[in-house]
Every structure is written in structure tokens, then in C-alpha cells.
Amino acid sequence: MNLAVILPPHPLDPAHWEQAALGIALRLGGTPADWTLLAPTDHLERHRRDFPALPLAPWEASSVGEGGSVVFVQTVSPWAARENALGSRPLPRFTVDRHGGVRPLGRAVGPEDDPQLESHVFNRLGPRDAQSAWAYHYFPWSALYRDASWGPLDPFGHRIPQDLELLRRRAPNHFLIGGFGGSAAFGWECLPDQLWTHHLEEGLNRHCLDHGLPTRFTVLNFAGPGHVVLNEMFHYLLFAHRLPLDLVISHGGTNDLWNGQMSDPFLLEHDITYQESQEDWAQILHDSRDRPTVYSTRDEVQRSVNPPGVNLRAYVARIRQFRQLAEGNGARFLWGLQPMLFSRPRLSDQEAVIPTKWKPRDEEPRRRLPQLFALLEQNLPPDLAEAFLNHHARFARYDDDATLFRDLVHPAPEGQARIARHYVERIRDALLPGWLSTPPGETR
């Protein structure tokens, strides 16, 4: 294989390298043993000391043969764009970030990066330029977010590698679980086998194997960045209608409660909330930039304007509706309140620097979120208690040194694993016995 991986012109955190290497392997293949590992001359000795097992050589343009590809490890500063040692040589170039996200350098996103990019008209009509390629595509029924940096996506932006047609014809003892939610559930900045849905599937199947149970599980990730429960229901309607699912998991809370602080009060009274970008799109579409939005402009401070009771009521109303929808289609339903950085009683060293990067613009809604979570816990409706799984409360017990979060909201790989563990326990204890005792063909 002819792949050159260039380490950055600054110290490299071993954890970042580990994740970057996983991302390169996933996207471009091979392992570090197969790659040509290079480092800028000024930093070569430093990297050799930090990574004694890596056969590092000085980075020179001649180190990269024709027909090869180049990956710049870019974990801190965007140094790769300034790197011109390769000149105009037509070599595919990429960057990989500290989370393993591999992106093309110096060209637009194409089908080679995202094979489903041309699969239907709304993918074809979406953005391609390097600035906005990883962004929302217009789609008539919901948000369609495409970012294949951390692994392949299906035509609709889901991290679902399975063939859904095969799953439709699955065996009676094959249970299908659909996970819905926002970017945390999507697995932002995590690679495919680091996702909670992957761990959940593995955990359940391991349990079945260990206990000789005649069942198997597949877990599908229908989550998408920015999704509120309304989006989750749309994705359920659009993409899971033929399967059907045995269990629907709505894993979220933040997008609804964050947006619900600031979105249109009249709509919120009708249990409708939405992402800030939707107002931008309306202004673009109708050339109405001279008319005010409800969300604050980029120059203004965000205000938490909506009453917390109305915000929570809207969120819970949609959860209740989603549950009715899922159960009406023969599925069971679980409602997971996602954990957040503020759930933890103590932060790891890596997590401790996260708050220093917060923007003043978002200070008030950010401050309100834990308060909204607390209000939800205090006022949990009895009819939903059985379906409720409080990850936020469980993470409040994790005072160990593990890094569970990348930022305020997105779990790191270990955080994803713990979320999955909670679901495994709940499904194993509360749902599996009933499924096992239900005769095949009957609603379970």
C-alpha cells in the first residue's frame, strides 16, 4: 500500500494518534505497519521519543511515491492547508483529526469520500464545496445531514451499514432495535465500532450467546445531528416502516430542551421546536433577511425566552407521541435522557478544559440545561416512568478518571460504551424475558 501519513509539526497526544490511526484504517485501509510514517524534520526527534514503536522518517515530498495518497494528521491547528511541499503533484490528500475524522484536502467532497453522495436527487443537489460539504442537505421531510468523515453513511445520512431489505425478512428470533436521537446518538466524533448502537448490539448478542438464548439482535442507528423528537419520528416513519422494529429507543433531550428555550413561543405552545438553522433557511429561501428571526442573530446573546414548563411539556408530549407511534406498530419503546458533561460529579483531565472553550453567546441556554434536566426529573410523568432510562442520573455516579465526553454534549468512545451498557441492562432485565416468552408471530 502506498499511503503516507504525516505527523503534525507539534507534540501529538498518544490518545489522538490512536484515534487518528483508527480513522485512517477505516477510511483508507491498512494499519500503521503498512503506512509510510513521516514527520516534519524539526519535530522528528520529538515524535520518535513519544512514539518509539513507530518507524518514523523525515517528511519530504520525495517520500511519497506516485499513485500514493497522503494523510496529514491535523489534531490541533490546521497546518495541512499551508503545507505545499507536494506542490501540484496529483496525489490524493487527506487530513485526519483527533477523533479519526478523515476529510479530503484541497478538493470538494465526492463519491470517493461518501459513496452514497449521488444516490438520490437531494444528495446530488446538496453542497460539495470544502466549507459546507459536511452539512445539511435540503430534504423535504427532515434534516438530512451528511458527514462521512467518521465512517460510511447510508443514502439518508444514517450510520447504518446493514442491508435493510435483508432485515425486513429476518427470522422471528432476530430482534431489531432502532436508535433515534441527535448528534450524541449519531456518535459525533466517534468511529463506527465506538458507537453506543454497536456496543448495544454486541452486548445483547454476547448475553444471548453466554446464556444459550436462541435470539440475536441488530441495532440500527437512525440518529442525525440536530434531531429533535419530531425529526426522530419523521425518520421512523420514513425509514423504519417496512422493517418493523421490535424496540424503538429515543435517546436525547438536549436538542429539544436547548432549542425549546429559544425557538418560536407560539410554535412551542403547539409542541413544535426546531433548529436555529431552519430560520436561516427560511430567510434564504424567501429572501426575507430584512425580517427578524426568533433566535438571536450571530452578534447577539442567546436568551432563554420560553417558560421552562412549556419547553418541557413540548418535549414530553412528543416523546409520548413517539411512544404511541412505536407501540402502535408493535414495538416496545425506551426513552433515554442523554448524559451531558454536567452530569458528571468530577471531570477527567481532558474534560476539565472543555468549559474554557464555551462561547459567551450561548451562556444562558447552556446554564439552563442542567436546570431543565432537573425539572424533568422532578416532574417525570408517571405514564412514562416505565419507559424512562435516566443516563444523566447514572452518569452522576461516574466519578472515575475516564474521559466520557468530547465536549458538553457528545460522549467520547468510553461514554458511548457506558450508555450502551445501561441499555443492555434494561433490555436484558425488562424486555428480553417478555420477548422470549412470546410465541413467534405474535406481537412482542
Partner 1 sequence: MRILGLSFDYHEAAAVLMIDGTVVAAALEERFSRIKHDAALPRQAAAFCLKQAGIHAAQLDHVVHYENPLRKFDRIVWSGVRSFPGGLPFLREAATSWLRGGKFRVRERIAEALGVELAKISCGEHHASHAASAFYPSPFDEATVLTLDGVGEYETASISLGRGHRLEKLGTLRLPHSLGLFYSAMTAYLGFHVNGGEYKVMGMAGFGQPTHYPELMKLFRLLPDGTFRLKQNYFDFLTPRALPYRPALVQRFGPARPAESPFAPEEEADETTRRASRHYADLAASVQRCVEEVILHMASKAVARTGVKNLCLAGGVALNSLANGRIQRELGLPLFVQPAAGDAGGAWGAAAHHHHHVLGHPRREPARSALAGAALGRAFSPEELRAALGASGFHRVESFPDDAALVEETARRLAQGAVIGWFQGRSEWGPRALGQRSILADPTRPDMQRIVNERIKFREPFRPFAPAVPAERAAEFFAMPPAVETWRPESFMLAVHRVRPEMRSRLPAVAHADGTARVQAVHREVNPLFHQLLTAFGDLRGVPVLLNTSFNLRDEPMVDSPADALQTFAYSDMDHLVLGRFLVSKGLDL
Binding residues for partner 1, rule: CB under 8 A, are 265, 269, 301, 303-304, 307-310, 312-313, 316, 368, 371, 375-376, 378-381
Pick 142 or 302: Cβ nearer partner 1: 302
| Minimum separation from the CB atom of position 258 to partner 1 (A) | 15
**How many CA within 13 A on the CB side of residue 41?**
4
| Minimum separation from the CB atom of position 271 to partner 1 (A) | 11
Pick 269 or 400: Cβ nearer partner 1: 269
CA 4 to centroid of chain Cα atoms: 28
C-alpha cell of residue 228: 429533535
| Minimum separation from the CB atom of position 331 to partner 1 (A) | 23
**What does the DSSP assignment read for 330-375?**
T-EEEEEE---GGG-SS--HHHHTGGGG--GGGHHHHHHHHHHHHH
Secondary element (H or E) of residue 286: helix 276-286
Pick 244 or 265: Cβ nearer partner 1: 265
Secondary element (H or E) of residue 249: strand 247-252
Q: Decide the pairing of beta strands 69-73 and 93-96.
A: parallel
CA 300 to centroid of chain Cα atoms: 28
Pick 314 or 404: Cβ nearer partner 1: 314
| Minimum separation from the CB atom of position 232 to partner 1 (A) | 18
What 8-state DSSP symbol labels residue 34? T
If DSSP codes are grouped into helix, strand and coil, which group holds residue 72? Answer: strand
The answer to whether 389 touches 422, Cβ cutoff 8 Å, is yes
Phi-psi group of 291: left, alpha or beta (phi > 0 → left; psi -120 to 50 → alpha; rest → beta): beta
Pick 24 or 314: Cβ nearer partner 1: 314
Pick 61 or 396: Cβ nearer partner 1: 396
Pick 153 or 312: Cβ nearer partner 1: 312
| Minimum separation from the CB atom of position 301 to partner 1 (A) | 7
| Minimum separation from the CB atom of position 341 to partner 1 (A) | 18
> What distance in Å separates the CA atoms of residue 300 and residue 298, rounded to the nearest whole number?
6
Pick 41 or 371: Cβ nearer partner 1: 371
| Minimum separation from the CB atom of position 395 to partner 1 (A) | 21
What letter represents residue 253's amino acid?
Answer: G
CA 260 to centroid of chain Cα atoms: 21
Pick 288 or 379: Cβ nearer partner 1: 379
The answer to whether 176 touches 168, Cβ cutoff 8 Å, is no
If DSSP codes are grouped into helix, strand and coil, which group holds residue 390? Answer: strand
Pick 237 or 301: Cβ nearer partner 1: 301
Pick 326 or 369: Cβ nearer partner 1: 369
> What distance in Å separates the CA atoms of residue 132 and residue 126, rounded to the nearest whole number?
10
> What distance in Å separates the CA atoms of residue 80 and residue 72, rounded to the nearest whole number?
6
Strands ordered across the beta sheet of 174-181: 216-221, 174-181, 247-252, 332-337, 388-390
What are the phi and psi torsion angles at 350 (to 5°)? Answer: -70, -35
| Minimum separation from the CB atom of position 298 to partner 1 (A) | 17
| Minimum separation from the CB atom of position 304 to partner 1 (A) | 8
Residues in the chain: 444
| Minimum separation from the CB atom of position 376 to partner 1 (A) | 8
| Minimum separation from the CB atom of position 378 to partner 1 (A) | 8
Residue among 315, 219, 299, 214 at smallest CA distance from 263: 315
